[in-house]
Amino acid sequence: QLYRKAYYNGSATELSQLPEDQGYEVAFAGRSNAGKSSAINCITEISALARTSKTPGRTQMINFFSFDDERALVDLPGYGYAKVPEKMKLKWQHTLAQYLETRQCLRGMMLMMDIRHPLKPFDIQMLTWANQADLPVHILLTKSDKLKKGAGKQSLLSVRNELKKLSLNASVQLFSSLNKSGKEEATQKLDDWFEV
């Protein structure tokens, strides 16, 4: 299985530091605490990976986790949770937007949102940039185990509705790293993007 082969393959803080623009990349994004690390762990079945991305100092970096020579998961940290000056935040936003806009090998973006706190300004920003760049977005409504089945379904529908109202384009699913529900659906989306 491809995703179990993931290994840490470097970080970049600036566009000039990115590896060569070749092969396939899928970006993972989410606000701090959205459950992104847990989702990456769940999908790759490697718990050490997420820890790597949480190493202090790497919080404002683009982290690369490669599966093979051609395919990589790109971990985009949420800005704003570290106490950084406004000027740095703006620079970081610019870097992220540029990356999404210019990166040719980027096939899609997985956006993690806590099912209880969906579509916050950060999420809207990422969706807007991705839509502008014609980049497909797939949303994981994480921690779905926190809600009862009916409530989870209701949230799924209401997020889809909200996206429509905002004219934002993305597919959406329920996901739980805790009980691995939604893992197959998420993996299927990755397979499509990576052409596995």
**Structure tokens, 122:** 């950060």
- Which region among 18-26, 33-41, 57-65, 126-134 touches ligand GDP (by CB under 6 A)? 33-41
What are the strands of the beta sheet with 24-30, ordered from one edge?
7-12, 62-66, 71-76, 24-30, 106-114, 137-142, 171-174
Task: Using the minimum distance from each CB to ligand GDP, give the nearer residue, 23 or 80.
Answer: 80
- Rank residues 95 and 177 by Cβ distance to ligand GDP and give the closer one: 177
Q: Does 34 bind ligand GDP (CB under 6 A)?
A: yes
Cβ 145 to ligand GDP shortest distance, Å? 5
Q: Which stretch binds ligand GDP (CB under 6 A): 89-97, 115-123, 140-148, 157-165?
A: 140-148
Position 177 contacts ligand GDP (CB under 6 A): yes
Please say which residue, 13 or 59, places its beta carbon nearer to ligand GDP: 59
Q: Does 178 bind ligand GDP (CB under 6 A)?
A: yes
HEC assignment per residue over 56-93: CCCCCCEEEEECCCCEEEEEECCCCCCCCCHHHHHHHH
H/E run at residue 17: none
- The sign one gets for the Cα dihedral 181, 42, 139, 2 is negative
Helix (H, G, I), strand (E, B) or coil at 127: helix
User: Applying CB under 6 A, which residues contact ligand GDP?
Assistant: 30, 32-38, 142-143, 145-146, 176-178
